[in-house]
């Protein structure tokens, strides 16, 4: 875990949705949007560190904006799912925040998943976009048939020569996004996967509003989202009380 320091998706499985947060308890702004505001406030202070990577608040905010602009330029937005098969490192957090801010539903795949569990999660997510860490390429190569038809594959990070999303996104501006570029609070933000007692994998979906409320403690957070919500809460707390969030 981190420490704090163009195809179109076919109709996606509904999956369980958690109860709506009462309007009186809902924080103002999505979690990605509020983290971007913290980036503007805390600048060069350390935000995320782990797996040999580190991002300041300013770098996290700029990366989030670039990924959001890349997604919109590629035709991805609300109604689209992106699946990330990446190690738990600062770059993955910046990417999911940026894609979610552009309106995509982001499925965070277990980087240790292989074979049938990985195929099942890909089938549940039905992503239009799959982003893979080059170090995990063998997981996809071993089950190419598991990819839904029309899924675009991009690589993220050193080890790939072509189709590197991080390099493509670097061509876009990192300045704060305008309101027209932001996702709806009611839109789906994350898809998490759990195994029930019968070892059948299932997907659970959370909206932007729910993530923001869980981060503020305005509603109980389901276990499937707890690790990400804890990182979000620590980022929102700012650097005064801690060093960079460590992903271990």
Residue 69 in domain: yes
User: 107-158, pLDDT tens digit by residue?
Assistant: 999 999 888 888 889 999 999 999 999 999 998 887 666 788 889 999 999 9
Determine the Cα–Cα distance for residues 216 and 201; give it in Å rounded to an integer: 29
Q: How many percent of the chain have pLDDT more than 70?
A: 80
Domain that holds residue 93: 27-172+186-247
pLDDT score of 185: 77
Residue 85 in domain: yes
Model confidence, pTM = 0.84
* Bridge partner list, 235: none
Extract the tokens encoding 14.
């509904």
pLDDT score of 196: 62
Q: What is the CATH number of the domain that holds 142?
A: 3.40.50.980
* Bridge partner list, 190: 106, 206
Residue 125 in domain: yes
Residue 8 in domain: no
Residue 131 in domain: yes
Q: How many residues does the chain have?
A: 248
Residue 5 in domain: no
Residue 20 in domain: no
Residue 179 in domain: no
User: 8-45, pLDDT tens digit by residue?
Assistant: 333 344 344 444 443 334 445 789 999 999 998 999 99
Determine the Cα–Cα distance for residues 90 and 11; give it in Å rounded to an integer: 31
Determine the Cα–Cα distance for residues 47 and 55; give it in Å rounded to an integer: 6
* Structural domain count, the chain: 1
* Bridge partner list, 152: 129
């Amino acid at each position: 875990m981190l420490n704090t320091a163009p195809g179109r998706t076919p109709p996606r499985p509904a999956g369980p949705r958690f109860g709506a947060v009462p309007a009186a308890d809902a924080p103002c702004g999505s979690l990605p949007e509020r983290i971007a505001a913290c980036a503007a406030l805390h600048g060069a202070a350390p935000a995320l560190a782990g797996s040999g990577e580190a991002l300041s608040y300013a770098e996290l905010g700029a990366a989030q904006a670039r990924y959001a602009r890349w997604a919109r330029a590629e035709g991805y937005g609300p109604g689209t799912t992106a699946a990330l098969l990446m190690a738990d490192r600062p770059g993955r957090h910046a990417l999911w925040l940026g894609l979610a801010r552009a309106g995509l539903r982001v499925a965070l795949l277990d980087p240790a998943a292989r074979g049938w569990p990985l195929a099942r999660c890909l089938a549940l997510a039905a992503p239009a976009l799959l982003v893979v860490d080059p170090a995990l390429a063998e997981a996809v190569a071993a089950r190419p048939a598991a990819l839904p038809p029309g899924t675009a594959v991009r690589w993220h990070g050193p080890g790939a020569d072509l189709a590197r999303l991080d390099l493509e996104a670097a061509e876009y501006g990192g300045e704060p996004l305008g309101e027209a570029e932001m996702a709806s609070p009611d839109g789906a933000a994350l898809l998490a996967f759990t195994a029930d007692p019968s070892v059948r994998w299932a997907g659970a979906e959370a909206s932007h509003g729910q993530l923001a409320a869980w981060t503020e403690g305005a509603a109980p957070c389901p276990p499937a989202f707890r690790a990400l919500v804890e990182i979000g809460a620590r980022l929102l707390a700012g650097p005064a009380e801690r060093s960079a969030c460590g992903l271990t």
